[in-house]
């Protein structure tokens, strides 16, 4: 016997273990079934999972379980990401805090730091694995991957080599987003901007006045730039020079005329600092101007700053202003100037643009073979979406995607950190015998020990590592390559892919599900790298979920515990099923949504309701001495069925049809709501209530089984646990059960309609009773339109009386009580509840006239639609049929309405 309330804690662990040990999670390569594959977006191995991960796991598990039950070969590859900067940052800080070492990189060295990070990562991975299991995720643990696995490293090196060979990877001096705090550069996408109010100074610079928020970068400024059409500075010509007094003495300045200068801003004149500003760099490149470094990589001023050398920016700024003031070069200061400060999204260090030699991926070079053409990486990225090879849900993100590509610049892939895939490039620092070839970078997929040109063993590997997104961009396929093959360095990438059975069978993957916040970081890069490296798209559909927010719409963060929910705290009390449901229902793709305890509690109640409904069903079986396990699936067809049985069974068929269709369209929220209301309102509040008068155990069992099947992807634990009590003898675990199909023999529309009529009648009586303030003991007469319905309602009289809370009830065909009727119009039926002497005729007439007008308009519209030749030609047959039916019922209704109006 089941316990009185569902206790998730005593069930979930046991059920998960049972699934895992049975091997259902493992995808079979040789099954011949249609594959359905998801690569789990690998969580960062930096600690714990949060609600964002929980959302992702819930959504993907629903996709996977649904596919599995539909008879597909479902594969869900789990894994973790080494998250280069994020992880290194966390560990360095940990060492600083726990061991008091101020500069761990310097004091411990590369080897030791890497060892520490590795240990930290392993710990995190263990935590993450257990947390994924707690959510009930049915992923294939035998295929678990990690972005730093040796086989993935091989893929990374292969792609690097291929790209280098194609000229897509190059090395160059460019302005990069340098983070002096973390001592590395970051990609454009990792830069965050924060609004800040800062003093905005204006200084005299020769005959001009120039403005700046950053006086500390101005030491070397020797170019004055203005718009060529600016009339105020007409007398100055491009290339003119002049001498002027500046911070540390006289400088010779050159005039540059460039259209990127906005004459409206400030004085319309500016000086440039090419080394520390992207826009200035571009101008300098255009006119081949000198570039000079002012600030070093630690954020301190270089000797060019004279007396300020070695000072940090913060310290130097006011002192420089002071000096300029003393020299009489100060003009004014605007204290309320608002501008954006660039921050590193990891660690929030202030970005100082610097010129550095870095590795880049060229996104514009047309060398990628795609669809029998030579395209640039940009063009390939655009093509796969334009052509419909990949669809994004919701589709508005396609627009954002294209917009992003239009603005995309070459991708800087090198990072000056230690944790990550080291750039597979070696330099010969030879012994004198070096040839010209040895001097350049040598790319190799395996550690290079000897220079192939001069034979020297004195080689040095590039110290930098690759952007973490470089390796995660290969995730859909690098996880599917055969790990034995990647150890064999004689094989080519193409060969490895061709010989990897998993890759051949399971790639491209079916759905890539992730948060919209990493559409550019990750999704776009996967498309770019995978199409290039394998010649195939990485996935067919992209499903983007929204961000979880607190009740007040704030972002959830650990630093602000107000409203923040930790999945690990919630699961023991409410259960993983409740948590899953609370995150899926009411959430539409691409939109942020709020989560709070009350919401989860609501779904905990639902899970408990389902539990108790099952308990009740089992109780009914016991009372009738029916063994639930002995009930055959097709038993219901041979049984005596009541009107309610038929109606519920029919509604269930409609539900199966509806739910299946919507799941295929990824409309998970709607499906969740449908299931919720069906279970609670139809199954529990109606059908089980009726069963108290007269129960049909085989039907109860059948309905319950079907509902458990339909609910399983959403709340796998409770459904699997209940399944054990109601499944037929020869059935196995629910997770392996096949998805319900519509049994047409049970789809009995007429019974369903009749039952609906009964329900509507009850609703109508209740409504009229409430409207008119009628006491339950007052006699109520229900007037209906045909003898047939009178008969139907009379057969259900007891049930109606009970549920409508009326003591005395009669039914009469229309026409017998026309004088004293208050009508309630419901969706498809009119029920007139008769209450002697209580009707306000004037009001009733007014209401009916309004109703009549509306109906006439509606009829006109439908008639026009049916009269439209194009509509008849183009619309599918069932739509036309529906319209015709609409017309028919509306006409009937109008006729009745007129009759009633006349009778008043």
Q: Which is nearer to RNA, 456 or 594 (CB)?
A: 594
Q: Which of residues 509-528 bind RNA (CB under 7 A)?
A: 517, 520
Q: What are phi and psi of 852, to 5 degrees?
A: -60, -45
Which DSSP category does 423 fall into? P
232 binds RNA, rule: CB under 7 A: no
669 binds RNA, rule: CB under 7 A: yes
Q: Which is nearer to RNA, 152 or 272 (CB)?
A: 272
CB atoms within 10 A of CB 860: 10
Q: Cα separation of 482 and 472, whole Å?
A: 18
Question: Please, what is the minimum distance in Å from the beta carbon of residue 626 to RNA?
Answer: 16
Total residues at interface with RNA (CB under 7 A): 96
Judged by CB under 7 A, the stretch of 53-61, 238-246, 687-695, 742-750 that binds RNA is 687-695
Specify whether the CB–CB gap between 73 and 36 falls below 8 A: yes
Q: Which of residues 248-307 bind RNA (CB under 7 A)?
A: 261-266, 268, 270-272, 277-279
- The first and second tokens of residue 273, run together, are 């600092």
Q: Cα separation of 96 and 115, whole Å?
A: 16
212 binds RNA, rule: CB under 7 A: yes
Q: Which of residues 740-769 bind RNA (CB under 7 A)?
A: 763, 766-767
Question: Please, what is the minimum distance in Å from the beta carbon of residue 111 to RNA?
Answer: 36
Question: Please, what is the minimum distance in Å from the beta carbon of residue 85 to RNA?
Answer: 16
Question: Please, what is the minimum distance in Å from the beta carbon of residue 890 to RNA?
Answer: 5
Taking the CA atoms of 670, 674, 677 and 681 in sequence, report the sign of the dihedral they define.
positive
Q: Cα separation of 225 and 256, whole Å?
A: 5
C-alpha triplet 60, 557, 186: angle, nearest 5°: 85
Q: Which is nearer to RNA, 383 or 685 (CB)?
A: 685
Judged by CB under 7 A, the stretch of 24-32, 235-243, 811-819, 823-831 that binds RNA is 823-831
454 binds RNA, rule: CB under 7 A: no
553 binds RNA, rule: CB under 7 A: yes
Of residues 675, 546, 721, 700, the one with CA closest to residue 616: 700
Which DSSP category does 32 fall into? -
Q: Which is nearer to RNA, 494 or 681 (CB)?
A: 681
677 binds RNA, rule: CB under 7 A: yes
Q: Which of residues 792-821 bind RNA (CB under 7 A)?
A: 805
Of residues 180, 173, 246, the one with CA closest to residue 215: 246
- Residue from 890, 891, 896, 901 in contact with RNA (CB under 7 A): 890
CB atoms within 10 A of CB 290: 11
34 binds RNA, rule: CB under 7 A: no
Question: Please, what is the minimum distance in Å from the beta carbon of residue 398 to RNA?
Answer: 10
Question: Please, what is the minimum distance in Å from the beta carbon of residue 822 to RNA?
Answer: 12
Q: Cα separation of 569 and 705, whole Å?
A: 31
Can you tell me whether residue 335 is helix, strand or coil? strand
552 binds RNA, rule: CB under 7 A: yes
Q: Which is nearer to RNA, 115 or 805 (CB)?
A: 805
Question: Please, what is the minimum distance in Å from the beta carbon of residue 361 to RNA?
Answer: 15
Q: Which of residues 84-113 bind RNA (CB under 7 A)?
A: none
Q: What is the DSSP string of 556-618?
A: PBTTB-TT---HHHHHHHH-HHHHHHHHHTT--TT--EE--HHHHHHHHHHHHHHHHHHHHHH
Can you tell me whether residue 807 is helix, strand or coil? coil
532 binds RNA, rule: CB under 7 A: no
Q: Cα separation of 614 and 4, whole Å?
A: 11
658 binds RNA, rule: CB under 7 A: no
Judged by CB under 7 A, the stretch of 68-76, 126-134, 636-644, 856-864 that binds RNA is 856-864
862 binds RNA, rule: CB under 7 A: yes
Question: Please, what is the minimum distance in Å from the beta carbon of residue 477 to RNA?
Answer: 26
- The first and second tokens of residue 726, run together, are 């109601």
Q: Cα separation of 770 and 604, whole Å?
A: 32
Q: What is the CA radius of gyration of the chain?
A: 36
Q: Which is nearer to RNA, 370 or 596 (CB)?
A: 596
Q: What is the DSSP string of 82-147?
A: --HHHHHHHHHHHHHHHH--S-HHHHHHHHHHHHHHHHHHHHHHHHHHHHHHHTT----GGG-EET
Q: Cα separation of 206 and 381, whole Å?
A: 49
- Residue from 826, 848, 866, 891 in contact with RNA (CB under 7 A): 826
Q: Which of residues 299-358 bind RNA (CB under 7 A)?
A: 339-340
788 binds RNA, rule: CB under 7 A: no
- Residue from 166, 188, 658, 753 in contact with RNA (CB under 7 A): 188
Per-residue binding string, RNA, 385-404, x by CB under 7 A, is -----------x--xx--xx
Q: What is the DSSP string of 707-760?
A: HHHHHTTTSHHHHHHHHHHHS-TT---GGGSPPP---GGG--HHHHHHHHHHHH
Judged by CB under 7 A, the stretch of 31-39, 294-302, 501-509, 670-678 that binds RNA is 670-678
Question: Please, what is the minimum distance in Å from the beta carbon of residue 317 to RNA?
Answer: 12
Q: Which of residues 585-624 bind RNA (CB under 7 A)?
A: 586-588, 591-594, 598-599, 602, 604-605, 607-609, 612-613, 615-616, 619
Question: Please, what is the minimum distance in Å from the beta carbon of residue 348 to RNA?
Answer: 14
Q: Which is nearer to RNA, 181 or 599 (CB)?
A: 599
**Sheet containing strand 223-226, strands side by side:** 241-246, 249-257, 223-226, 269-271
875 binds RNA, rule: CB under 7 A: yes
Question: Please, what is the minimum distance in Å from the beta carbon of residue 536 to RNA?
Answer: 27
244 binds RNA, rule: CB under 7 A: no
HSE toward the beta carbon, residue 467, CA cutoff 13 A: 22
- Residue from 210, 428, 480, 743 in contact with RNA (CB under 7 A): 210
Judged by CB under 7 A, the stretch of 137-145, 209-217, 303-311, 439-447 that binds RNA is 209-217
Which H or E element spans position 333? strand 330-344
């Amino acid at each position: 016997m089941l316990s009185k309330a569902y206790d998730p804690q005593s069930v979930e662990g046991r059920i998960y273990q049972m699934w895992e040990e049975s091997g259902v999670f493992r995808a079979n390569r040789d099954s011949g079934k249609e594959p359905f594959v998801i690569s789990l977006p690998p969580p960062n191995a930096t600690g714990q999972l949060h609600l964002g991960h929980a959302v992702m796991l819930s959504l993907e598990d629903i996709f996977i379980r649904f596919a599995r039950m539909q008879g597909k070969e479902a594969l869900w590859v789990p894994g973790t990401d080494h998250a280069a900067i994020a992880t290194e940052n966390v560990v360095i800080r940990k060492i600083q805090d726990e061991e008091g070492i101020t500069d761990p990189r310097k004091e411990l060295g590369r080897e030791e730091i890497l060892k520490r990070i590795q240990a930290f990562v392993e710990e995190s991975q263990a935590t993450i694995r257990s947390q994924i299991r707690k959510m009930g995720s049915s992923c294939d643990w035998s295929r678990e991957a990690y972005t730093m696995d040796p086989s993935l490293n091989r893929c990374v090196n292969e792609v690097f080599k291929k790209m280098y060979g194609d000229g897509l990877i190059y090395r160059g001096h460019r302005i990069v987003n340098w983070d002096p705090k973390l001592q590395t550069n970051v990609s454009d996408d990792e830069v965050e901007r924060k609004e800040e109010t800062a003093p905005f100074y204006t200084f005299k610079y020769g005959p001009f006045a120039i403005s700046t928020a950053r006086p500390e970068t101005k030491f070397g400024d020797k170019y004055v730039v203005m718009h060529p059409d600016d009339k105020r500075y007409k007398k100055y010509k491009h290339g003119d020079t002049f001498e002027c007094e500046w911070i540390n003495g006289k400088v010779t300045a050159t005039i540059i005329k460039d259209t990127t200068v906005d004459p409206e801003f400030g004085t319309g004149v500016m000086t440039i600092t090419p080394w520390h500003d992207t826009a200035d760099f571009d101008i300098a490149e255009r006119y081949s101007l000198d570039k000079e470094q002012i600030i070093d990589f630690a954020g301190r001023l270089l000797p060019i700053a004279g007396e300020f050398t070695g000072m940090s920016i913060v310290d130097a700024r006011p002192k420089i202003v002071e000096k300029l003031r003393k020299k009489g070069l100060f003009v004014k200061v605007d204290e309320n100037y608002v501008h954006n400060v660039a921050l590193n999204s990891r660690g929030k260090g202030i970005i100082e643009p610097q010129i550095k030699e870095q590795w880049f991926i060229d996104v514009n070079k047309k060398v990628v073979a795609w669809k029998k053409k030579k395209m640039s990486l940009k063009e390939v990225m655009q093509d796969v979406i334009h052509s419909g090879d990949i669809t994004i849900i919701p589709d508005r993100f396609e627009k954002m995607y294209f917009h992003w590509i239009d603005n995309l610049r070459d991708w800087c892939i090198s990072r000056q950190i230690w944790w990550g895939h080291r750039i597979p490039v070696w330099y010969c620092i030879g012994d004198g015998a070096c040839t010209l070839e040895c001097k350049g970078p040598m790319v190799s997929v395996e550690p290079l020990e000897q220079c192939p040109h001069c034979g020297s063993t004195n080689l040095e590997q590039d110290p930098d590592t690759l952007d973490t997104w470089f390796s995660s961009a290969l995730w859909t396929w690098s996880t599917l390559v055969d790990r034995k093959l990647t150890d064999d360095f004689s094989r080519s990438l193409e060969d490895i892919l061709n010989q990897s059975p998993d890759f051949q069978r399971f790639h491209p993957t079916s759905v890539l599900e992730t948060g919209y916040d990493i559409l550019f970081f990750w999704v776009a890069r996967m498309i770019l790298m995978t199409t290039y490296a394998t010649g195939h798209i990485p996935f067919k559909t992209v499903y983007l979920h929204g961000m979880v927010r607190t009740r007040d719409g704030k972002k959830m963060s650990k630093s602000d515990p107000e409203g923040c929910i930790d999945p690990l705290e919630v699961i023991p009390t409410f259960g993983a099923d409740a948590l899953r449901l609370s995150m899926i229902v009411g959430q539409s793709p691409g939109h942020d949504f709020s989560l709070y305890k009350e919401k989860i509690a609501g779904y905990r109640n639902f899970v408990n309701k389902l539990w108790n409904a099952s308990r009740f069903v089992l109780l009914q079986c016991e009372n009738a001495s029916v063994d639930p396990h002995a009930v055959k699936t097709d038993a219901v067809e041979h049984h005596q069925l009541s009107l309610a049985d038929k109606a519920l069974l029919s509604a269930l068929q409609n539900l199966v049809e509806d739910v299946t269709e919507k799941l295929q369209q990824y409309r998970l929220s709607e499906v969740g709501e449908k299931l919720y209301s069906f279970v609670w309102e139809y199954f529990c509040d109606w059908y089980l209530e009726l069963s108290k008068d007269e129960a049909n155990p085989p039907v109860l069992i059948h309905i319950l089984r079907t509902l458990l099947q339909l609910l399983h992807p959403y709340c796998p634990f409770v459904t699997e646990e209940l399944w054990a009590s109601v499944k037929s003898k020869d059935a196995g675990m629910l997770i392996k059960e096949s998805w319900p199909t519509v049994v047409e023999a049970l789809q009995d529309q007429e019974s369903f309609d009749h039952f609906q009529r009964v329900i509507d009648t009850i609703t109508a009586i209740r409504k009229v009773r409430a409207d008119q303030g009628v006491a339950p003991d007052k006699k109520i007469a229900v007037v209906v339109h045909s003898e047939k319905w009178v008969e139907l309602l009379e057969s259900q009289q007891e049930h109606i009386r009970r549920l409508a809370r009326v003591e005395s009830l009669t039914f009469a065909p229309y026409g017998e009580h026309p004088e004293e009727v208050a009508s309630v119009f419901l969706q498809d039926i009119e029920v007139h509840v008769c209450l002697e002497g209580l009707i306000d005729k004037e009001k009733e007439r007014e209401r009916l006239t309004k109703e009549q007008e509306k109906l006439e308009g509606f009829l006109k519209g439908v008639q026009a639609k049916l009269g439209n030749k194009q509509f008849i030609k183009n619309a599918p047959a069932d739509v036309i049929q529906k319209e015709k039916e609409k017309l028919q019922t509306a006409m009937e209704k109008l006729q009745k309405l007129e009759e009633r109006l006349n009778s008043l």
